[in-house]
Each structure stands twice: as C-alpha cells, then as structure tokens.
C-alpha cells in the first residue's frame, strides 16, 4: 500500500459505517415488525370488555414502552449479530423475536389469552436465556435486555390475571 493513497484511513471509517448500518438495520427491523404486528392486532372492543386487574396500566403506556424496548432489543440484536451470525446468542435472540411477534396475534387477533399466556411464558424464558447467554460474552447486550425482562414479567402477570379474571 502506498502512503497517502487513502486506503489506510478508509478502513476504520468503513468499519464504523458498517457497524452503524448494522445497528440501524436491526432497530428498523424490530421497530418495523412491532409496528406491523401492532397495527394489525389492535385491542378493540373485545379487549375493552375484559375484566382486568387493578394494576392494568392505561392503554397509552404500551406504545411508548414498546418503542423504547424495541430499540433496546434491536441494539442487543445488532451487538450479538456482530459477534457471531449463527451463534447460540443470535439464535436465542431470533427465537425471542418470533415469540414476541406471536403474542399480539394470539391475544388480540385470535382473542385467546390462554394461548397467549403460553407464548409469553416462552418469551419470558427466551429473554432470560438470552441474558444468561450474553452475560459473560457481551454484558452490554445482556443489560439492554433487563428492562425488557421487567416489562415482559409484568405483561405475563397481566396476561395471567386476564386469563384468571375471564
């Protein structure tokens, strides 16, 4: 390589751009998937008619909460992808996305909260598995999933309460 050719300075720039693009793609996929699932599975009158526990938050809380969580999930996914495309961590991450995107169609779309409870329990297990898998390999990715774990734990309690009350 010749000095001054620009090749030496271009490589770090291209690596940074590639990393940034990976983060953008993952966040966009997760946010976009969540938006599509959400728009096609709105709560509606059926959900309003259900008996809910007293700790059920107002409906407006769910959109902002999931938006923040989807960004964190996308960032953790991008970090995991960059460390190994077909790693166990990446497979767990993909599995939790499938479970995440299945919950709303079962709960709101098909209106079967008991089946949705099974899905969310699987989601909860996959979130915990991801955190445990990433804890030593990529602590930041694991930490990005802690708010998700807290929210899905709460959502599991809500789902179970709705099954019990109805």
Write the pLDDT tens digit of every residue in 36-84: 999 999 888 999 999 999 999 998 999 999 999 999 999 999 999 999 8
Higher-scoring residue by pLDDT: 43, 149: 149
Taking 90 as the threshold, does the pLDDT of residue 4 lie above it? Answer: no
> Tell me, what's the pLDDT at 8?
60
Contact assessment for residue 127 and residue 73, using Cβ atoms and an 8 Å cutoff: no
What's CA 7's distance to the chain center, in Å? 38
Contact assessment for residue 163 and residue 120, using Cβ atoms and an 8 Å cutoff: no
- Read off the pLDDT of each residue in 12-17 and give the average, rounded to a whole number: 72
124, 71, 115: which is closest to 95 by C-alpha?
124
> Tell me, what's the pLDDT at 1?
45
Say how many C-beta atoms besides its own lie within 10 A of residue 140's C-beta: 10
Q: Please tell me the total number of residues recorded for the chain in this structure.
A: 166
Q: For 19-48, how does the pLDDT look when each residue is reduced to its tens digit (9 = 90+)?
A: 999 999 999 999 999 999 999 998 889 999
> Tell me, what's the pLDDT at 90?
97
pTM of the model: 0.89
121 Cβ neighbours under 8 A, 6+ residues apart:
156
- Read off the pLDDT of each residue in 128-136 and give the average, rounded to a whole number: 97
> Tell me, what's the pLDDT at 12?
75
Rounded-to-integer distance, Cα 59 and Cα 78, Å: 30
Higher-scoring residue by pLDDT: 88, 85: 88
Taking 90 as the threshold, does the pLDDT of residue 85 lie above it? Answer: no
What percent of the chain clears pLDDT 70, i.e. is strictly above it? 92
100, 40, 36, 28: which is closest to 71 by C-alpha?
28
Contact assessment for residue 73 and residue 97, using Cβ atoms and an 8 Å cutoff: yes
Q: Does domain 25-165 have CATH number 1.20.1260.100?
A: yes
Taking 60 as the threshold, does the pLDDT of residue 2 lie above it? Answer: no
């Amino acid at each position: 390589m010749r000095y001054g050719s620009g090749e030496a300075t271009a490589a770090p720039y291209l690596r940074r751009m590639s990393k940034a693009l990976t983060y953008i793609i993952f966040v966009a996929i997760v946010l976009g998937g969540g938006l599509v699932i959400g728009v096609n599975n709105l709560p509606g009158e059926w959900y309003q008619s259900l008996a809910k526990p007293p700790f059920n938050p107002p409906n407006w809380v769910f959109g902002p909460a999931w938006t923040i969580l989807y960004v964190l999930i996308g960032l953790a996914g991008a970090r995991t992808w960059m460390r190994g495309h077909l790693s166990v961590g990446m497979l767990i991450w993909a599995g939790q996305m499938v479970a995440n995107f299945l919950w709303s169609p079962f709960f709101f779309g098909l209106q079967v909260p008991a089946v949705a409870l099974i899905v969310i329990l699987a989601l909860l297990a996959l979130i915990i598995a991801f955190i445990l898998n990433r804890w030593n390999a990529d602590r930041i990715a694991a930490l990005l999933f802690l708010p998700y774990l807290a929210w899905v734990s709460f959502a599991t309690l809500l789902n179970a309460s709705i099954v019990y009350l109805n």
